[in-house]
Structure 1
Amino acid sequence: MSKRNKIALAIMLALGIAIFAFSLRNVNMHNLMHDIVHIHWQWLVVAVICMLLYFGIEALITKMFVTSNGDRFSFRDAIRIPLIEQLFNGITPFSSGGQPAQLIALMQSGVEAGRASSVLLMKFVVFQAMIVINFMVSLLIGFHFLAEKMSYLSLFVVFGFLIHLTVIIGLLLVMYWHGFTKKLISWIMIPIGWFVKKERFERWQVTIDEKVDTFYKESVRIKTQWKLLAKVFVMTFFQLLFYYLVPYYIMLSLGYSGINVVMVTSLHILIVMVISIFPIPGGSGGAEYSFDVLFSSFIHSNSKLVLAMLLWRLLTYYFGIFAGMFALVAKPDKLKRKIEQNN
């Protein structure tokens, strides 16, 4: 991890502590301790298991893509990828550091750079597609609730959805209309060239063309493996489902039974969409505020509401960061290539 990333990590941890302290300013500490002592720990364990399954399924998906050509890739190496992704997503604006970090982690395991890029791109396509599908369903179920409670954030939710939809449409264009997409990108790049130096602009053009060509070549190969894609789509659905269910089990752990699991899950999907467009790493500040406002309709005790928010952020954000720190220093195994196995 670079010095810059270490500084970003320290800042995010300090910011998290400050936000937690600010959230506790009006909470009766006696009531909070009472709520902690009387937590139904079995449901909290289920919430932890949901996060472990979230990481574990993504590791299996990564392993399936890497080994689709016959190479052998250990699960130990595969589980490093989503954990390192969580770490760098959590300390960079708009989660921009996750993809490059995964690429480096795969290369450390012996996966060639071009193939690693292709694996991550295909995984990203499926993940984005499932996010868009889940969000469309949650929008139908919970948007009226969001608009009533946080009307000023409704536009941000729609904006976030449009960004994700644009991304998936762009990726599909590359997969199915490669030539047209390259022309479209060159047209879009024209006004950008007005504001940057010629040398830098040309480097950008070359880099983008290479990435588009690499993704297209890999997509052609992967599209022939429709059984693999079908499995990955189903696995990604359950991966995201486990993640979206975390607030529900946290509420059960605090003694709230009989709550609408569909509504709670839908609201969590909408919160995640709001977080994705906040420039601050992890959506810090906006995430906590969104959770507090939306789930106050289900949790009427102030101390329990703050406790639920703290548990939610610890599990869905900080747990991944700390696990990623351990994964980052763990020495990877080396990929066993199909050619090497046959010799």
Structure 2
Amino acid sequence: MKNKKYFINIAIILIIGGVSIYLSIGQQFDQVIHAFQEAKIYWIIVMAVVMFSYYLFDALSLLYFGKAYKHDYTFKQSFVNAISGTFFNGITPFASGGQFAQVYIFNKQGIPPTNSASILLMCFICYQSVLVIYTGIVLLMKYNYFVNEQPGVFSLAILGFFINFAVILGLFGGAKSKRLQNFLTHTVLKFLSKIHIVKDYELTCIKIEQYLSDFREQLKFLQKNRQVLVRSCLCNFVKLTIIYSMPFFAAKALNLNVSWSSFFDYLGLCSFIYLINAFLPIPGASGGSEGVYVLLFSFLGSVGTSSSLFLWRFMSYYLGLIIGGLVFSLNKEINNSRLE
């Protein structure tokens, strides 16, 4: 049943993504094809290499924590785990399937679920912290531009930022403050239960208290292993810079009028897409990502926007699905252990 569900999700991604790209191209199909015929192969290769390095840094971040629980944990194993997580995140709503797959893979690699859950939680702490700081700086530096040029999109991005900020603040505060933990579980949660957003108050309360307890333990680990913390945060900083830079490289590849002086503008615009994606329950945020991209990068011209959208989406999303799906399916360690 799970495999059937994944196939359905992949079909949804392909259909919605394909329709969205088709609608963005509209009557400009011939011009877009011509743009790709005139594209610089060199920049497309650079784009692919840079994007592949994103997955290497993702694996490196996972490796630092993996070695804390299994000293002979290898980079190859962490790469298999990280890219497989990318695949399952990409085909499930709200990127909800990646961690379950990674716990499964960790177990096959010799790290039991109790430890792998701790690893993934620490990875989340580092990633979410860097994301909030990174996007917060972008919003402050580009505030005037976004307010004047993209007020509607800016409002959604601000909301996305505050949701991410509230998540990490609530986790840190709940882990550090017993009073705040009680407020979250006994006041906020009870209110959500009364308005029928939370179905089972008692069970949800237990789960949140357990999660905050686990979070507290992982914070202690990170405080004792600051070198690992710093390295993981640096990896996440590089990852975000890479993923946000993809539209810039796409514009370069398609001979659009773009200079290195606008590199940080492209980072800021693309960061907005990922902030808004947090609201979209469709696997891979298909449809929404393409729509927001068209709004934000309309200054590239109709043909430039459509052609760069196709290249950006393939490199930043579909390439990871392809690599992740192949690695998960063909990796001997995972496949052999399935047969045992």
Tell me the TM-score normalized by structure 2: 0.88
In the TM superposition, residue 195 of structure 1 has moved relative to its aligned partner by: 6.3
SS at match of 2:309: helix
Gap change, CA 1:332 and 1:224, over 3 Å in 2: farther
| 1:133 corresponds to 2:133 | yes
CA–CA distance in 1 between the matches of 2:174 and 2:73?
A: 28
Percent sequence identity over matched residues? 23
Gap change, CA 1:60 and 1:278, over 3 Å in 2: same
In the TM superposition, residue 11 of structure 1 has moved relative to its aligned partner by: 1.4
Deviations 1:10-43 (A, max 9, x none): 11112112222222222041x2232112111111
Q: Residue 140 of structure 2 aligns to which amino acid in structure 1? A: L
SS at match of 1:111: coil
1:173–1:181 CA contact under 8 A, matched in 2: yes
1:92–1:281 CA contact under 8 A, matched in 2: yes
Runs of 4+ in 1 over 6 A off after TM superposition: none
SS at match of 1:72: coil
| 1:183 corresponds to 2:213 | no
2:87–2:325 CA contact under 8 A, matched in 1: yes
| 1:120-199 pair list within 5 angstroms | 120-177=120-177, 179-187=178-186, 188-194=188-194
Residue in structure 2 matched with residue 326 of structure 1 by the alignment = 326
| 1:208-287 pair list within 5 angstroms | 208-255=208-255, 256-259=257-260, 260-287=262-289
In the TM superposition, residue 332 of structure 1 has moved relative to its aligned partner by: 5.8
1:63–1:75 CA contact under 8 A, matched in 2: yes
1:114–1:214 CA contact under 8 A, matched in 2: no
Q: Residue 26 of structure 1 aligns to which amino acid in structure 2? A: Q
2:185–2:208 CA contact under 8 A, matched in 1: no
Gap change, CA 1:134 and 1:321, over 3 Å in 2: same
In the TM superposition, residue 269 of structure 1 has moved relative to its aligned partner by: 1.1
SS at match of 1:2: helix
Gap change, CA 1:295 and 1:218, over 3 Å in 2: same
1:108–1:332 CA contact under 8 A, matched in 2: no
| 1:41-60 pair list within 5 angstroms | 41-60=41-60
Tell me the TM-score normalized by structure 1: 0.88
SS at match of 2:111: coil
Gaps of 5+ in 2: 335-340
Gap change, CA 1:275 and 1:228, over 3 Å in 2: same
CA–CA distance in 1 between the matches of 2:101 and 2:6?
A: 11
Residue in structure 2 matched with residue 16 of structure 1 by the alignment = 17
Q: Residue 186 of structure 1 aligns to which amino acid in structure 2? A: T
In the TM superposition, residue 193 of structure 1 has moved relative to its aligned partner by: 4.2
Matched residue count = 330
Name the stretch that deviates more: 51-60 or 255-264.
Answer: 255-264
Residue in structure 1 matched with residue 92 of structure 2 by the alignment = 92
Deviations 1:262-295 (A, max 9, x none): 1111111122212222232322222112212222
Q: Residue 16 of structure 2 aligns to which amino acid in structure 1? A: L
Q: Residue 152 of structure 1 aligns to which amino acid in structure 2? A: G
In the TM superposition, residue 203 of structure 1 has moved relative to its aligned partner by: 3.0
In the TM superposition, residue 59 of structure 1 has moved relative to its aligned partner by: 0.4
